[in-house]
Protein backbone atom coordinates (compact mmCIF):
# COMPACT_ATOMS: atom_id res chain seq x y z
CA UNK A 1 0.00 0.00 0.00
CA UNK A 2 1.27 3.48 -0.80
CA UNK A 3 1.72 5.84 2.11
CA UNK A 4 -1.39 7.99 2.41
CA UNK A 5 0.45 11.21 3.27
CA UNK A 6 2.99 11.03 0.42
CA UNK A 7 1.13 12.48 -2.58
CA UNK A 8 2.91 12.69 -5.89
CA UNK A 9 4.16 16.01 -7.14
CA UNK A 10 2.12 17.91 -9.69
CA UNK A 11 1.52 15.77 -12.75
CA UNK A 12 3.99 16.47 -15.53
CA UNK A 13 4.58 13.61 -17.96
CA UNK A 14 7.72 15.35 -19.24
CA UNK A 15 9.33 16.21 -15.88
CA UNK A 16 12.28 13.97 -16.72
CA UNK A 17 13.12 15.75 -19.97
CA UNK A 18 16.16 17.84 -19.11
CA UNK A 19 15.89 17.01 -15.39
CA UNK A 20 18.89 17.22 -13.06
CA UNK A 21 19.05 14.00 -11.03
CA UNK A 22 21.23 13.68 -7.93
CA UNK A 23 22.55 10.20 -7.17
CA UNK A 24 22.69 9.11 -3.54
CA UNK A 25 24.77 6.07 -2.61
CA UNK A 26 22.97 5.29 0.65
CA UNK A 27 25.79 3.44 2.43
CA UNK A 28 27.89 6.60 2.21
CA UNK A 29 25.51 9.54 2.46
CA UNK A 30 24.50 9.91 6.11
CA UNK A 31 24.52 7.46 9.02
CA UNK A 32 21.72 8.19 11.50
CA UNK A 33 22.40 5.50 14.11
CA UNK A 34 26.17 5.39 14.55
CA UNK A 35 26.81 1.97 12.99
CA UNK A 36 29.08 3.48 10.32
CA UNK A 37 26.70 2.72 7.43
CA UNK A 38 24.49 5.32 5.80
CA UNK A 39 20.75 4.70 5.91
CA UNK A 40 17.33 5.95 4.87
CA UNK A 41 16.87 8.08 8.00
CA UNK A 42 20.14 9.75 7.13
CA UNK A 43 18.82 10.57 3.67
CA UNK A 44 15.71 12.14 5.22
CA UNK A 45 17.99 14.25 7.42
CA UNK A 46 19.95 15.55 4.42
CA UNK A 47 17.11 16.09 1.93
CA UNK A 48 16.89 19.85 2.65
CA UNK A 49 20.50 20.11 1.49
CA UNK A 50 19.70 18.14 -1.67
CA UNK A 51 16.75 20.40 -2.38
CA UNK A 52 19.00 23.45 -1.91
CA UNK A 53 21.03 22.31 -4.92
CA UNK A 54 18.00 22.93 -7.13
CA UNK A 55 17.86 19.39 -8.50
CA UNK A 56 14.65 17.85 -9.84
CA UNK A 57 15.03 14.31 -8.51
CA UNK A 58 17.18 11.93 -6.52
CA UNK A 59 18.28 8.47 -7.58
CA UNK A 60 18.91 6.20 -4.60
CA UNK A 61 21.20 3.22 -5.17
CA UNK A 62 19.84 -0.14 -3.90
CA UNK A 63 18.62 -0.44 -0.33
CA UNK A 64 16.81 -3.77 -0.82
CA UNK A 65 17.37 -6.90 1.25
CA UNK A 66 20.73 -8.31 0.19
CA UNK A 67 23.72 -10.34 1.43
CA UNK A 68 25.76 -7.32 0.26
CA UNK A 69 28.35 -9.25 -1.75
CA UNK A 70 28.04 -6.40 -4.28
CA UNK A 71 26.68 -3.88 -1.78
CA UNK A 72 23.02 -4.11 -2.70
CA UNK A 73 23.34 -4.84 -6.40
CA UNK A 74 22.79 -8.49 -5.42
CA UNK A 75 19.13 -8.42 -4.38
CA UNK A 76 17.55 -11.21 -2.32
CA UNK A 77 14.15 -9.49 -1.90
CA UNK A 78 13.07 -6.83 -4.39
CA UNK A 79 10.24 -5.64 -2.15
CA UNK A 80 12.06 -5.59 1.18
CA UNK A 81 14.27 -3.00 2.90
CA UNK A 82 17.57 -4.33 4.20
CA UNK A 83 17.64 -3.74 7.98
CA UNK A 84 20.98 -1.96 7.74
CA UNK A 85 19.17 0.80 5.82
CA UNK A 86 16.03 0.94 7.97
CA UNK A 87 12.41 0.04 7.44
CA UNK A 88 9.65 0.51 4.90
CA UNK A 89 8.31 3.32 7.09
CA UNK A 90 11.70 5.03 6.72
CA UNK A 91 11.49 4.70 2.96
CA UNK A 92 7.98 6.15 2.96
CA UNK A 93 9.38 9.08 4.94
CA UNK A 94 12.07 9.60 2.28
CA UNK A 95 9.37 9.84 -0.40
CA UNK A 96 7.10 12.09 1.67
CA UNK A 97 9.92 14.44 2.68
CA UNK A 98 11.35 14.66 -0.82
CA UNK A 99 7.94 15.44 -2.28
CA UNK A 100 7.32 18.15 0.32
CA UNK A 101 10.61 19.70 -0.80
CA UNK A 102 9.65 19.48 -4.48
CA UNK A 103 12.10 16.67 -5.29
CA UNK A 104 11.09 13.47 -7.09
CA UNK A 105 12.38 10.04 -6.04
CA UNK A 106 13.88 7.44 -8.36
CA UNK A 107 15.13 4.09 -7.08
CA UNK A 108 17.63 1.64 -8.53
CA UNK A 109 16.16 -1.58 -9.94
CA UNK A 110 18.57 -4.45 -10.69
CA UNK A 111 16.54 -6.62 -13.05
CA UNK A 112 19.21 -8.50 -15.00
CA UNK A 113 20.28 -10.67 -12.05
CA UNK A 114 19.57 -11.43 -8.41
CA UNK A 115 21.59 -12.64 -5.47
CA UNK A 116 22.16 -16.40 -5.26
CA UNK A 117 20.37 -16.06 -1.90
CA UNK A 118 17.11 -15.00 -3.58
CA UNK A 119 14.32 -17.57 -3.03
CA UNK A 120 13.80 -17.67 -6.78
CA UNK A 121 17.31 -19.01 -7.31
CA UNK A 122 17.09 -21.41 -4.38
CA UNK A 123 14.06 -22.98 -6.05
CA UNK A 124 15.47 -22.81 -9.58
CA UNK A 125 18.64 -24.72 -8.70
CA UNK A 126 16.74 -27.47 -6.88
CA UNK A 127 16.05 -29.56 -10.00
CA UNK A 128 15.08 -29.31 -13.67
CA UNK A 129 11.32 -29.55 -13.21
CA UNK A 130 10.33 -27.10 -10.44
CA UNK A 131 8.09 -24.11 -11.34
CA UNK A 132 11.11 -21.76 -11.48
CA UNK A 133 13.53 -24.18 -13.14
CA UNK A 134 13.75 -21.90 -16.18
CA UNK A 135 13.92 -18.57 -14.32
CA UNK A 136 17.72 -18.34 -14.64
CA UNK A 137 20.10 -18.99 -17.55
CA UNK A 138 21.14 -22.62 -17.13
CA UNK A 139 23.14 -24.65 -19.64
CA UNK A 140 24.81 -28.04 -19.88
CA UNK A 141 28.57 -28.36 -19.87
CA UNK A 142 30.43 -29.12 -23.05
CA UNK A 143 31.40 -32.80 -23.44
CA UNK A 144 34.76 -32.07 -21.79
CA UNK A 145 33.07 -30.44 -18.77
CA UNK A 146 34.01 -26.87 -19.69
CA UNK A 147 31.47 -23.98 -19.76
CA UNK A 148 28.89 -23.80 -22.55
CA UNK A 149 30.61 -20.95 -24.39
CA UNK A 150 33.35 -18.34 -24.14
CA UNK A 151 31.39 -15.55 -22.42
CA UNK A 152 33.32 -13.58 -19.80
CA UNK A 153 32.24 -11.86 -16.59
CA UNK A 154 32.59 -8.10 -16.17
CA UNK A 155 34.23 -8.90 -12.83
CA UNK A 156 36.80 -11.27 -14.35
CA UNK A 157 36.95 -14.88 -15.50
CA UNK A 158 34.25 -17.02 -17.07
CA UNK A 159 30.65 -15.81 -16.98
CA UNK A 160 29.59 -19.35 -16.07
CA UNK A 161 29.59 -21.03 -12.65
CA UNK A 162 29.07 -24.74 -12.06
CA UNK A 163 26.22 -25.82 -9.80
CA UNK A 164 26.62 -29.36 -8.46
CA UNK A 165 22.98 -29.58 -7.41
CA UNK A 166 21.56 -29.15 -10.93
CA UNK A 167 24.71 -30.45 -12.61
CA UNK A 168 24.63 -27.48 -14.95
CA UNK A 169 26.32 -24.14 -15.38
CA UNK A 170 24.48 -20.89 -14.65
CA UNK A 171 25.25 -17.53 -16.24
CA UNK A 172 26.58 -14.64 -14.14
CA UNK A 173 27.70 -11.52 -15.97
CA UNK A 174 29.06 -10.15 -12.69
CA UNK A 175 29.94 -11.99 -9.45
CA UNK A 176 29.34 -15.74 -9.22
CA UNK A 177 26.86 -14.85 -6.45
CA UNK A 178 24.80 -12.83 -8.98
CA UNK A 179 23.06 -15.35 -11.27
CA UNK A 180 21.43 -13.89 -14.37
CA UNK A 181 17.66 -14.07 -14.73
CA UNK A 182 16.22 -15.62 -17.89
CA UNK A 183 13.92 -12.94 -19.30
CA UNK A 184 13.04 -15.20 -22.21
CA UNK A 185 10.74 -16.84 -19.64
CA UNK A 186 7.39 -14.93 -19.60
CA UNK A 187 6.88 -15.60 -15.87
CA UNK A 188 10.16 -13.85 -15.10
CA UNK A 189 9.10 -10.76 -17.01
CA UNK A 190 5.79 -10.69 -15.15
CA UNK A 191 7.50 -11.08 -11.78
CA UNK A 192 9.79 -8.13 -12.56
CA UNK A 193 6.88 -5.99 -13.71
CA UNK A 194 5.20 -6.82 -10.39
CA UNK A 195 8.28 -5.38 -8.65
CA UNK A 196 7.90 -2.21 -10.72
CA UNK A 197 4.21 -1.99 -9.81
CA UNK A 198 4.98 -2.48 -6.10
CA UNK A 199 7.31 0.53 -5.93
CA UNK A 200 5.12 2.72 -8.13
CA UNK A 201 2.32 2.05 -5.64
CA UNK A 202 4.58 3.32 -2.86
CA UNK A 203 4.89 6.66 -4.62
CA UNK A 204 8.23 6.54 -6.41
CA UNK A 205 8.57 8.78 -9.45
CA UNK A 206 10.76 6.48 -11.48
CA UNK A 207 13.66 4.09 -11.69
CA UNK A 208 17.29 3.89 -12.61
CA UNK A 209 17.62 0.55 -14.42
CA UNK A 210 20.95 -1.13 -13.75
CA UNK A 211 22.68 -2.85 -16.71
CA UNK A 212 19.62 -2.34 -18.91
CA UNK A 213 21.25 -3.94 -21.96
CA UNK A 214 22.06 -7.17 -20.08
CA UNK A 215 18.46 -8.31 -19.64
CA UNK A 216 18.52 -10.92 -22.41
CA UNK A 217 21.20 -13.35 -23.55
CA UNK A 218 21.29 -15.12 -26.90
CA UNK A 219 18.97 -18.13 -26.78
CA UNK A 220 21.50 -20.24 -28.72
CA UNK A 221 24.36 -19.24 -26.40
CA UNK A 222 26.69 -18.57 -29.32
CA UNK A 223 30.32 -17.63 -28.67
CA UNK A 224 31.22 -13.95 -28.70
CA UNK A 225 33.76 -13.04 -31.38
CA UNK A 226 37.18 -11.68 -30.47
CA UNK A 227 37.60 -7.91 -30.48
CA UNK A 228 40.69 -6.57 -32.28
CA UNK A 229 43.11 -4.77 -29.94
CA UNK A 230 42.63 -1.45 -31.71
CA UNK A 231 38.89 -1.51 -30.87
CA UNK A 232 39.28 -2.34 -27.19
CA UNK A 233 37.95 0.21 -24.71
CA UNK A 234 38.28 0.08 -20.94
CA UNK A 235 35.23 2.21 -20.14
CA UNK A 236 33.23 -0.85 -18.97
CA UNK A 237 35.98 -2.96 -17.41
CA UNK A 238 39.57 -2.07 -16.44
CA UNK A 239 42.29 -2.71 -19.01
CA UNK A 240 43.64 -5.64 -16.96
CA UNK A 241 40.36 -7.51 -17.45
CA UNK A 242 40.10 -9.76 -20.56
CA UNK A 243 36.39 -8.86 -20.73
CA UNK A 244 37.61 -6.11 -23.05
CA UNK A 245 38.92 -8.68 -25.52
CA UNK A 246 35.49 -9.77 -26.75
CA UNK A 247 32.75 -8.12 -28.77
CA UNK A 248 29.73 -8.90 -26.61
CA UNK A 249 27.15 -9.34 -29.35
CA UNK A 250 25.54 -12.46 -27.89
CA UNK A 251 25.89 -12.11 -24.11
CA UNK A 252 23.93 -8.81 -24.06
CA UNK A 253 22.26 -6.23 -26.35
CA UNK A 254 19.64 -8.67 -27.65
CA UNK A 255 16.67 -7.46 -29.75
CA UNK A 256 14.11 -9.14 -27.47
CA UNK A 257 14.85 -6.42 -24.92
CA UNK A 258 12.86 -3.84 -26.88
CA UNK A 259 9.50 -5.51 -26.27
CA UNK A 260 10.22 -5.87 -22.55
CA UNK A 261 11.14 -2.18 -22.32
CA UNK A 262 7.84 -1.32 -23.99
CA UNK A 263 6.01 -3.32 -21.32
CA UNK A 264 8.02 -1.57 -18.61
CA UNK A 265 7.22 1.87 -20.08
CA UNK A 266 3.51 1.04 -20.21
CA UNK A 267 3.48 0.68 -16.40
CA UNK A 268 5.21 4.04 -15.96
CA UNK A 269 2.89 6.13 -18.09
CA UNK A 270 -0.26 6.16 -15.89
CA UNK A 271 1.83 7.30 -12.89
CA UNK A 272 3.78 10.00 -14.71
CA UNK A 273 6.93 8.08 -13.75
CA UNK A 274 10.12 7.77 -15.79
CA UNK A 275 13.13 5.49 -16.13
CA UNK A 276 16.79 6.04 -16.93
CA UNK A 277 18.76 3.02 -18.09
CA UNK A 278 22.47 2.28 -17.73
CA UNK A 279 23.84 1.14 -21.09
CA UNK A 280 27.06 -0.74 -20.43
CA UNK A 281 28.72 -1.19 -23.80
CA UNK A 282 32.11 0.08 -24.88
CA UNK A 283 31.61 -0.13 -28.64
CA UNK A 284 27.92 0.66 -29.35
CA UNK A 285 26.72 2.41 -26.19
CA UNK A 286 25.43 5.53 -27.92
CA UNK A 287 23.62 3.57 -30.60
CA UNK A 288 22.00 1.25 -28.05
CA UNK A 289 20.98 4.25 -25.97
CA UNK A 290 19.38 5.77 -29.05
CA UNK A 291 17.54 2.53 -29.80
CA UNK A 292 16.20 2.21 -26.25
CA UNK A 293 15.00 5.83 -25.91
CA UNK A 294 13.70 6.69 -29.38
CA UNK A 295 10.12 6.34 -30.53
CA UNK A 296 8.49 7.36 -27.26
CA UNK A 297 7.52 3.78 -26.34
CA UNK A 298 10.55 2.42 -24.48
CA UNK A 299 12.46 3.99 -21.57
CA UNK A 300 12.54 7.76 -21.45
CA UNK A 301 16.31 8.17 -21.13
CA UNK A 302 19.55 6.20 -20.89
CA UNK A 303 23.14 7.03 -20.15
CA UNK A 304 26.01 5.56 -22.15
CA UNK A 305 29.65 5.61 -21.06
CA UNK A 306 30.99 8.27 -23.45
CA UNK A 307 31.41 10.80 -20.60
CA UNK A 308 32.26 8.14 -18.03
CA UNK A 309 35.30 6.70 -19.75
CA UNK A 310 38.93 7.31 -18.80
CA UNK A 311 39.64 9.59 -21.78
CA UNK A 312 38.74 13.21 -21.08
CA UNK A 313 35.81 14.56 -23.06
CA UNK A 314 37.66 16.94 -25.37
CA UNK A 315 35.84 19.27 -27.74
CA UNK A 316 36.45 16.83 -30.60
CA UNK A 317 35.28 13.73 -28.72
CA UNK A 318 32.19 15.55 -27.50
CA UNK A 319 31.24 16.63 -31.01
CA UNK A 320 31.81 13.12 -32.33
CA UNK A 321 29.54 11.66 -29.66
CA UNK A 322 26.69 14.03 -30.52
CA UNK A 323 27.15 13.39 -34.24
CA UNK A 324 26.86 9.63 -33.64
CA UNK A 325 23.79 10.15 -31.52
CA UNK A 326 22.08 12.32 -34.13
CA UNK A 327 22.83 9.76 -36.82
CA UNK A 328 21.45 6.90 -34.71
CA UNK A 329 18.16 8.55 -33.70
CA UNK A 330 17.51 12.31 -33.59
CA UNK A 331 14.71 11.88 -31.01
CA UNK A 332 16.78 9.77 -28.60
CA UNK A 333 17.15 11.24 -25.12
CA UNK A 334 20.48 10.87 -23.31
CA UNK A 335 21.18 11.36 -19.63
CA UNK A 336 24.73 12.63 -19.26
CA UNK A 337 27.00 12.12 -16.25
CA UNK A 338 30.69 12.39 -15.50
CA UNK A 339 30.83 10.34 -12.29
CA UNK A 340 28.91 7.68 -10.39
CA UNK A 341 29.41 4.88 -7.87
CA UNK A 342 31.19 2.65 -10.42
CA UNK A 343 33.81 5.01 -11.87
CA UNK A 344 36.83 6.94 -10.67
CA UNK A 345 35.63 10.46 -9.86
CA UNK A 346 36.06 12.58 -12.97
CA UNK A 347 38.21 15.26 -11.31
CA UNK A 348 40.84 12.54 -10.83
CA UNK A 349 40.05 10.46 -13.89
CA UNK A 350 40.52 13.41 -16.24
CA UNK A 351 43.14 15.22 -14.17
CA UNK A 352 41.07 18.39 -13.88
CA UNK A 353 42.05 21.62 -12.21
CA UNK A 354 39.38 23.48 -10.28
CA UNK A 355 38.87 25.82 -13.25
CA UNK A 356 38.48 22.87 -15.59
CA UNK A 357 36.02 21.18 -13.23
CA UNK A 358 33.92 24.35 -13.19
CA UNK A 359 33.92 24.53 -16.99
CA UNK A 360 32.78 20.93 -17.28
CA UNK A 361 30.06 21.46 -14.68
CA UNK A 362 28.65 24.38 -16.68
CA UNK A 363 28.98 22.41 -19.92
CA UNK A 364 26.96 19.53 -18.44
CA UNK A 365 24.08 21.90 -17.71
CA UNK A 366 24.10 23.19 -21.28
CA UNK A 367 23.98 19.84 -23.12
CA UNK A 368 20.81 18.48 -24.67
CA UNK A 369 19.58 15.66 -22.46
CA UNK A 370 19.04 15.04 -18.79
CA UNK A 371 21.82 15.12 -16.19
CA UNK A 372 22.99 12.92 -13.33
CA UNK A 373 25.19 14.35 -10.58
CA UNK A 374 26.92 11.99 -8.15
CA UNK A 375 27.06 12.85 -4.47
CA UNK A 376 30.20 14.83 -3.65
CA UNK A 377 30.66 15.89 -7.27
CA UNK A 378 29.19 19.25 -6.32
CA UNK A 379 32.03 19.61 -3.79
CA UNK A 380 34.71 18.92 -6.40
CA UNK A 381 35.83 15.78 -4.58
CA UNK A 382 38.69 13.79 -6.07
CA UNK A 383 39.01 10.01 -5.87
CA UNK A 384 40.03 8.79 -2.42
CA UNK A 385 43.23 6.73 -2.32
CA UNK A 386 42.60 3.76 -0.03
CA UNK A 387 44.96 1.15 1.36
CA UNK A 388 44.40 -2.45 0.34
CA UNK A 389 43.37 -3.34 3.90
CA UNK A 390 40.54 -0.80 3.73
CA UNK A 391 39.02 -2.18 0.51
CA UNK A 392 35.49 -3.59 0.56
CA UNK A 393 34.84 -3.89 -3.18
CA UNK A 394 35.42 -7.46 -4.47
CA UNK A 395 36.22 -6.01 -7.90
CA UNK A 396 39.15 -4.01 -6.52
CA UNK A 397 40.37 -6.88 -4.35
CA UNK A 398 40.38 -9.13 -7.43
CA UNK A 399 42.53 -6.85 -9.60
CA UNK A 400 44.62 -4.95 -7.04
CA UNK A 401 46.92 -3.06 -7.49
CA UNK A 402 46.55 -2.52 -11.26
CA UNK A 403 42.88 -1.69 -10.64
CA UNK A 404 41.86 -0.41 -7.21
CA UNK A 405 38.15 -0.98 -7.58
CA UNK A 406 35.24 1.31 -6.85
CA UNK A 407 35.74 2.11 -3.18
CA UNK A 408 37.65 5.32 -3.93
CA UNK A 409 34.50 6.96 -5.29
CA UNK A 410 32.25 5.47 -2.58
CA UNK A 411 33.84 6.95 0.54
CA UNK A 412 31.45 8.81 2.84
CA UNK A 413 30.04 12.23 2.06
CA UNK A 414 31.81 14.99 4.00
CA UNK A 415 29.43 17.33 5.81
CA UNK A 416 31.72 19.17 8.22
CA UNK A 417 35.44 19.05 9.05
CA UNK A 418 35.41 18.69 12.84
CA UNK A 419 36.12 14.96 13.05
CA UNK A 420 37.63 12.14 10.99
CA UNK A 421 34.16 10.95 9.93
CA UNK A 422 33.34 14.32 8.35
CA UNK A 423 29.94 14.46 10.04
CA UNK A 424 28.87 11.29 8.24
CA UNK A 425 28.70 9.11 11.36
CA UNK A 426 29.35 9.10 15.09
CA UNK A 427 30.87 5.63 14.65
CA UNK A 428 33.59 4.16 12.47
CA UNK A 429 32.59 4.59 8.79
CA UNK A 430 32.39 1.46 6.64
CA UNK A 431 35.00 3.08 4.40
CA UNK A 432 37.46 5.66 5.73
CA UNK A 433 36.84 9.32 4.99
CA UNK A 434 39.68 10.73 2.91
CA UNK A 435 41.49 13.31 5.08
CA UNK A 436 41.89 15.62 2.09
CA UNK A 437 38.10 15.65 1.63
CA UNK A 438 37.50 17.29 5.02
CA UNK A 439 38.59 20.72 3.81
CA UNK A 440 35.99 20.41 1.02
CA UNK A 441 33.08 19.59 3.32
CA UNK A 442 29.63 21.06 2.81
CA UNK A 443 30.00 23.29 5.89
CA UNK A 444 33.35 24.65 4.73
CA UNK A 445 32.03 25.41 1.25
CA UNK A 446 28.76 26.94 2.42
CA UNK A 447 30.87 29.60 4.14
CA UNK A 448 32.91 30.33 0.98
CA UNK A 449 30.99 32.14 -1.76
CA UNK A 450 33.61 31.14 -4.31
CA UNK A 451 33.49 27.42 -3.53
CA UNK A 452 32.66 24.66 -6.02
CA UNK A 453 29.38 23.95 -4.25
CA UNK A 454 28.06 27.40 -5.12
CA UNK A 455 29.23 27.03 -8.70
CA UNK A 456 27.17 23.86 -9.05
CA UNK A 457 24.15 25.57 -7.50
CA UNK A 458 24.55 28.43 -9.97
CA UNK A 459 24.95 26.07 -12.91
CA UNK A 460 21.79 24.15 -11.98
CA UNK A 461 19.95 27.48 -11.52
CA UNK A 462 21.13 28.64 -14.95
CA UNK A 463 19.56 25.55 -16.50
CA UNK A 464 16.33 26.09 -14.58
CA UNK A 465 16.17 29.81 -15.41
CA UNK A 466 16.61 29.09 -19.12
CA UNK A 467 14.29 26.17 -19.99
CA UNK A 468 15.79 25.99 -23.47
CA UNK A 469 18.93 24.52 -21.84
CA UNK A 470 16.84 21.70 -20.39
CA UNK A 471 14.53 20.90 -23.27
CA UNK A 472 15.49 22.90 -26.35
CA UNK A 473 16.97 21.64 -29.59
CA UNK A 474 20.72 21.57 -30.03
CA UNK A 475 22.62 22.53 -33.16
CA UNK A 476 25.50 20.40 -34.46
CA UNK A 477 28.68 21.15 -32.55
CA UNK A 478 31.43 23.15 -34.19
CA UNK A 479 35.00 22.58 -33.01
CA UNK A 480 37.90 24.97 -33.37
CA UNK A 481 40.96 23.73 -31.54
CA UNK A 482 39.85 23.17 -27.95
CA UNK A 483 36.72 25.29 -28.30
CA UNK A 484 33.34 23.66 -28.84
CA UNK A 485 30.44 25.84 -29.95
CA UNK A 486 26.74 25.03 -30.27
CA UNK A 487 23.32 26.65 -29.96
CA UNK A 488 20.47 25.54 -27.75
CA UNK A 489 16.96 26.35 -28.95
CA UNK A 490 15.80 28.61 -31.76
CA UNK A 491 14.52 32.12 -32.29
CA UNK A 492 14.33 34.63 -29.44
CA UNK A 493 15.05 32.06 -26.72
CA UNK A 494 18.17 30.59 -28.34
CA UNK A 495 21.39 30.44 -26.35
CA UNK A 496 24.83 30.41 -27.97
CA UNK A 497 27.33 28.33 -25.99
CA UNK A 498 31.12 28.35 -26.32
CA UNK A 499 33.45 26.33 -24.09
CA UNK A 500 37.22 26.36 -24.12
CA UNK A 501 38.08 22.82 -23.01
CA UNK A 502 41.81 23.33 -23.06
CA UNK A 503 44.67 25.17 -21.45
CA UNK A 504 45.35 27.71 -24.23
CA UNK A 505 43.50 30.97 -24.84
CA UNK A 506 41.42 31.19 -28.01
CA UNK A 507 39.94 34.11 -29.95
CA UNK A 508 36.57 34.27 -31.71
CA UNK A 509 34.51 36.89 -33.49
CA UNK A 510 30.83 36.54 -32.63
CA UNK A 511 27.89 37.69 -34.76
CA UNK A 512 25.84 40.72 -33.74
CA UNK A 513 22.46 40.40 -32.09
CA UNK A 514 23.51 38.55 -28.94
CA UNK A 515 23.94 39.64 -25.33
CA UNK A 516 25.95 37.86 -22.64
CA UNK A 517 24.42 35.81 -19.82
CA UNK A 518 25.86 33.42 -17.24
CA UNK A 519 27.87 35.78 -15.06
CA UNK A 520 26.98 33.63 -12.04
CA UNK A 521 28.92 30.71 -13.55
CA UNK A 522 31.86 32.86 -14.60
CA UNK A 523 30.90 33.19 -18.26
CA UNK A 524 32.91 35.88 -20.06
CA UNK A 525 31.60 38.39 -22.59
CA UNK A 526 32.95 39.66 -25.93
CA UNK A 527 33.92 43.29 -26.35
CA UNK A 528 31.68 45.87 -28.02
CA UNK A 529 32.86 44.75 -31.48
CA UNK A 530 31.97 41.09 -30.83
CA UNK A 531 35.58 40.05 -30.35
CA UNK A 532 35.87 37.29 -27.75
CA UNK A 533 38.97 36.06 -25.96
CA UNK A 534 38.28 32.76 -24.21
CA UNK A 535 40.97 32.00 -21.67
CA UNK A 536 41.79 28.43 -20.65
CA UNK A 537 38.64 26.65 -19.37
CA UNK A 538 36.47 29.71 -19.90
CA UNK A 539 32.86 29.82 -21.05
CA UNK A 540 30.82 32.29 -23.07
CA UNK A 541 27.02 32.15 -23.04
CA UNK A 542 24.89 34.51 -25.15
CA UNK A 543 21.19 34.97 -25.74
CA UNK A 544 19.30 36.98 -28.36
CA UNK A 545 18.94 40.71 -27.89
Helix, strand, coil percentages in the chain from 3-state DSSP, rounded to 5: 30, 15, 50
Q: What is the 3-state secondary structure (H, E, C) of 466-510?
A: CHHHHHCCECCCEEECCEEEEEECCHHHCEEEEEECCCCCEEEEC
Enclosing H/E stretch for 274? strand 274-278
Nearest to 364 by CA among 210, 481, 476, 501: 501
Which residues, in sequence order, are CB contacts of 27 under 8 Å at separation 6+? 37, 38, 61, 71, 72, 410, 430
Number of neighbours of residue 313 by Cβ within 10 angstroms = 21
Our answer to whether residue 210 is catalytic in this structure is yes
| Beta strand residue intervals within 118-197, DSSP E | 138-139, 160-163, 168-171
Nearest to 313 by CA among 476, 457, 482, 472: 482
Instruction: Return d(Cα 97, Cα 46) in angstroms, integer.
Output: 10
Our answer to whether residue 223 is catalytic in this structure is no
Nearest to 221 by CA among 144, 130, 281, 158: 158
Catalytic residue among 278, 281, 306, 482: 278
Catalytic residue among 39, 92, 210, 393: 210
Report the Cα 282 to chain-centroid distance in Å: 15
Tally the C-alpha atoms within 13 A of residue 315's C-alpha that lie toward its C-beta. Answer: 21
Ordered alpha helix ranges (H), 330-404? 346-349, 354-366, 394-399
Q: Which residues are known to be catalytic?
A: 210, 278
Amino acid sequence: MAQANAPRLAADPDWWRGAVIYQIYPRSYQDSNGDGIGDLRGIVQRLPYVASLGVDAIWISPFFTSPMRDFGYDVSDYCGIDPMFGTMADFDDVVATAHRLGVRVMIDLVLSHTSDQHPWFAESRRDHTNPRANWYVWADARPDGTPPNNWLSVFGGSAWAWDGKRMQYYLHNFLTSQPDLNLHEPAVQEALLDVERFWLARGVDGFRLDTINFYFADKLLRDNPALPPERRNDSIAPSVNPYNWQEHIYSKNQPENLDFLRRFRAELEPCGAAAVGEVGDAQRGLEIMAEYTSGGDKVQMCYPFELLQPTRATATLLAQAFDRLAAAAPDAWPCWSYSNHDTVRHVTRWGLSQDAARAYATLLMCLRGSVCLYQGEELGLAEADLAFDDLQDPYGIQFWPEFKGRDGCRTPMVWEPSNQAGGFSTGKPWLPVAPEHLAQSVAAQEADSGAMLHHYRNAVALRRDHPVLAQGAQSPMQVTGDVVQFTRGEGRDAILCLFNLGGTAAQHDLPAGWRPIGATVGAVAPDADGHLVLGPWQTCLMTRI
